[in-house]
Amino acid sequence: MKKFQYLDRSPAPQPLRQGSCCTPNSPCLRCSMIRLTSHRFAMFHKKFGRLPGQDDELFFDETQLRPVRASQDEIRSQIFAAAQVYGLNCFVLLSYLGLRSASVYDERAL
């Protein structure tokens, strides 16, 4: 009986996308969320000396000795601070995260 040899074939290479999803001056929502998350990880590490665990809050009350969820106003402030550092559109992030209700942030951006 003749044995058949099956060769694993990798999929055909896909051409690289010509354009990027965003530019350094105007990151897309996905890239903005990555930068925001990275920033909050760094702030968590700076405050608590470790990386956040699965159940830890990234938006935490900075006055507490352990990671406690911040108020919505404090979360907005933390997002605004990260947006300033990384040149992100804080209004897009706030809207995506369901936090776009405070008019004080509209005044800060002007």
> Which sequence spans correspond to the domains of the chain?
29-109
- The number of angstroms, rounded, from the C-alpha of 41 to the middle of its chain's C-alpha atoms is 10
- pLDDT score recorded for residue 1: 53
Q: Look up residue 26 and give its two tokens.
A: 């105007």
Span 100-106, average pLDDT: 55
Tens-place pLDDT, residues 41-54: 999 999 999 999 99
> For residue 28, what are the CA distances in angstroms to 36, 101, 108?
12, 22, 22
- pLDDT score recorded for residue 102: 53
> For the chain, what percent of residues have pLDDT higher than 90?
61
Taking alpha carbons only, the member of 2, 68, 71, 84 closest to residue 36 is 84
Q: Contact at 8 Å (CB) between 59 and 67?
A: no
Which residues sit opposite 23 in a β-bridge?
26
Residue 47 and residue 104: Cα distance in Å, rounded? 27
Q: Look up residue 39 and give its two tokens.
A: 């920033």
Contacts of 72 (CB under 8 A, 6+ apart): 99
Q: Contact at 8 Å (CB) between 109 and 91?
A: yes
